[in-house]
Each structure stands twice: as structure tokens, then as C-alpha cells.
Structure 1
Amino acid sequence: MGVTRLKRKDRRNKARANNRVARIKQLLLTPVIKNVDMDELRAQFGEAPKNKPATEETTAPATEETAATTTEETSAQ
């Protein structure tokens, strides 16, 4: 009596194994960074630009306008 082979499952298992080997090979191809001088890297980029804080004058009227429109909408209903 012959042995029944599960061909689709066999293909799937082989594909999984091949994908795993390919993934490992891809990870091994990437170079490993060693002995990095962080101070030298920071010097290459220079100083980060400092963000200017928003003034209260520009933010305050916007909140008053939105509050006024919401009160008008509620009173109209």
C-alpha cells in the first residue's frame, strides 16, 4: 500500500523554512555598528533649533471666539 503525501502541506512547510532562512540571511547582511562616537555624531548635526513658545495673545482670542460661537448655537436652539 502506498503512502499518501500531503503535497500542499509539504509545499507550505518548505516555503516557511525557505522564508525563515532568507530572513536570517537578510538580517546577517546588515552591517553591525560598533564603536560609535556619540559626541562626534552630535557635532555633525549641530544644535537643534529651539521652538519659540506661543504667546498668550494669539491663543486667547481663538478660545473666546469658539466659546462665543458655542453659546450662540446653544441659545439659538
Structure 2
Amino acid sequence: MGVTRLKRKDRKNKARANNRVARIKQLLATPVIKNVDMDELRAQFGEAPKNKKEENTEAPAAQTEEKSTEETSAE
């Protein structure tokens, strides 16, 4: 006497479980923003240049070095 397996139902249940695990992993992967200094963010946006063409003529490598040093000092 054999046991009948519900194959379609089994596939649906496995798919639901896999989707649930994937959804949980995706939620855990998103970074949580903590202790954001709003005044500092506003100051950064206020310092944005009006004309991008003039700034592009300067050395772009120097700008990337400045940003990397600021990021390391902020952390």
C-alpha cells in the first residue's frame, strides 16, 4: 500500500518557504541609518558648486582623495 504524495502542493510549500527566507535576508541586508546629523547634511548640500564645468577642469583625483580622508576621519 503506497502513499500518495501531493507533488504540486509540496512545490508550492517549498517555494513559499524559500521566498520567505529570501525576503528576510533582503531585509537584514539593508543598512540601518543611525545618529544622522541633519545640520552637517544641510551644510554639505549648501556647499555644492553652481557651475560644474569649472570644477571639472580642476584635478578630479584631488577631490576623490579629499573625500576619502573625510570619510575615514568621520568614522
| Coarse TM-score class (shorter-chain normalised) | 0.5 to 0.7
Aligned mates of 2:4, 2:46 — CA distance in 1? 68
Aligned mates of 1:39, 1:9 — CA distance in 2? 55
**Percentage of matched positions with identical amino acids:** 96
Structure 1: which 5+ residue stretches go unaligned? 48-77
Q: State the match for 1:8 in structure 2.
A: 8
Does 2:33 correspond to 1:33? yes
Give the SS at the match of 2:40. Answer: helix
Q: State the match for 1:44 in structure 2.
A: 44
Structure 2: which 5+ residue stretches go unaligned? 48-75
Q: State the match for 2:23 in structure 1.
A: 23
Give the SS at the match of 2:18. Answer: helix
After the TM superposition, which segments of 4 or more aligned residues of structure 1 sit over 2 Å from their partners? Answer: none
- State the shift of 1:30 in Å: 1.3
Deviation digits for residues 36-74 of structure 1, max 9, x if unmatched? Answer: 001111111129xxxxxxxxxxxxxxxxxxxxxxxxxxx
- State the shift of 1:10 in Å: 0.4
Larger relative contact order, structure 1 or 2 (CA cutoff 8 Å, min sep 6): 2
Residue-pair matches, total: 47
Aligned mates of 1:7, 1:42 — CA distance in 2? 58
Q: Return the TM-score normalized by structure 2.
A: 0.56
Rg larger for? 1
Over aligned residue pairs, what C-alpha RMSD do you find? 1.5
Aligned mates of 1:43, 1:13 — CA distance in 2? 52
